[in-house]
Copies of this chain bind each other. A is one copy, B any other.
């Protein structure tokens, strides 16, 4: 094993855009070792934060063509001579199960592009939570000069809320289909989207995609405006025919202009940072509670008693807090 890099070596490598050092720094940020966490904190403190970047969350059901879309979109971005980083978030598994099969072919072309940096899933099994780690990875990529950051979710329904708190712009990929179009899309996800893109709008599918576009635009118009004052857009795309990528990027740029002008862009980032602080603290507290097996056992017992209506929720909470205090004071 090679000797570990110093924080200064990490910082210099990242600042110069060294991909190997960036990859190592991300591993450091994802590590559960206390010394690695400490060094990550030091490193982040040394790096200059960038505000000229755009962070884009992308989600959609399996089969919607997420990787294909991101590869086509990434190629459009790199064709504009912009650097793009693609991070995957997966709270459910150590390894991205969904991508094991397709690992070699996944975004094959894009991964060879020197302007693109692709990094598979941060593990869900990390102290501090997946979103906390992904946030640090975003900051590292930005410090390495990546202007467009994609945060891709694996699966639908578990991680979107987390991703929403990490990004500036949230993109939902949808399939045009007869009837029940949103099968598998959890309620509330559509409302989070700043844009919906109907994928695979090619060949015989174009007409259906256009119909779905009109349907979703109508449905979105029924909702109130986003907090940002931005009206969500619906677009169509075809990765196969390389169509729609320019339009998607232009909508994102429109969005950025809109929210930069209104001040919402910086406001949202500030809020995301303070939310991250509170979440991080809550997570640390939970980790602490789990350190004590006595508390874990009592908590499980109380939960069962509450479920079975043997004790009120309030009463049970009080008992658990008492035990927690007694335990901490003993340490």
A residues with CB within 8 A of B: 37, 40-41, 44-45, 49, 128, 132, 135-136, 180-188, 190-192, 215-216, 218-219, 221-224, 226, 270, 273-274, 276-285, 288, 302-303, 306-307, 309, 311-318, 320-321, 325, 328-329
Q: Are B191 and A223 in contact (CB under 8 A)?
A: no
Q: Are A181 and B222 in contact (CB under 8 A)?
A: yes
Q: Are B307 and A221 in contact (CB under 8 A)?
A: no
| CB closest chain-B residue, reference A299 | B281
Chain A interface mostly helix, strand, loop or mixed? Answer: helix
Give the interface centre of A216, A273, A318 by most chain B CB atoms within 10 Å. A273
Q: Are B314 and A128 in contact (CB under 8 A)?
A: yes
Q: Are A321 and B284 in contact (CB under 8 A)?
A: yes
Q: Are B188 and A188 in contact (CB under 8 A)?
A: yes
| Given A215-B222, A222-B215, CB of A273 within 8 Å of CB of B317 | no
Across-interface contacts of A281 in B (CB, < 8 A): 316-317, 320-321
Sample (22) of A-B pairs whose CB atoms are under 8 Å apart:
A40-B314, A41-B312, A44-B312, A45-B311, A182-B222, A182-B223, A185-B223, A187-B224, A188-B188, A191-B191, A216-B222, A219-B219, A273-B306, A273-B307, A274-B307, A276-B314, A277-B302, A280-B314, A280-B316, A282-B282, A283-B317, A284-B321
Q: Are A285 and B285 in contact (CB under 8 A)?
A: yes
Q: Are A306 and B277 in contact (CB under 8 A)?
A: yes
Bound CA–CA A273/B256 (angstroms): 43
Q: Are B313 and A223 in contact (CB under 8 A)?
A: no
CB A181 to nearest CB in B, in angstroms, measures 6
Across-interface contacts of A128 in B (CB, < 8 A): 314
- Supplied contacts A41-B314, A183-B224, A273-B307, 12 more A-B pairs, CB within 8 Å: A37-B314, A182-B224, A185-B224, A187-B226, A273-B309, A273-B313, A274-B303, A274-B313, A277-B313, A280-B317, A281-B316, A281-B321
| Given A222-B215, A321-B284, A328-B329, CB of A309 within 8 Å of CB of B49 | yes
Q: Are B316 and A277 in contact (CB under 8 A)?
A: yes
Q: Are B317 and A303 in contact (CB under 8 A)?
A: no
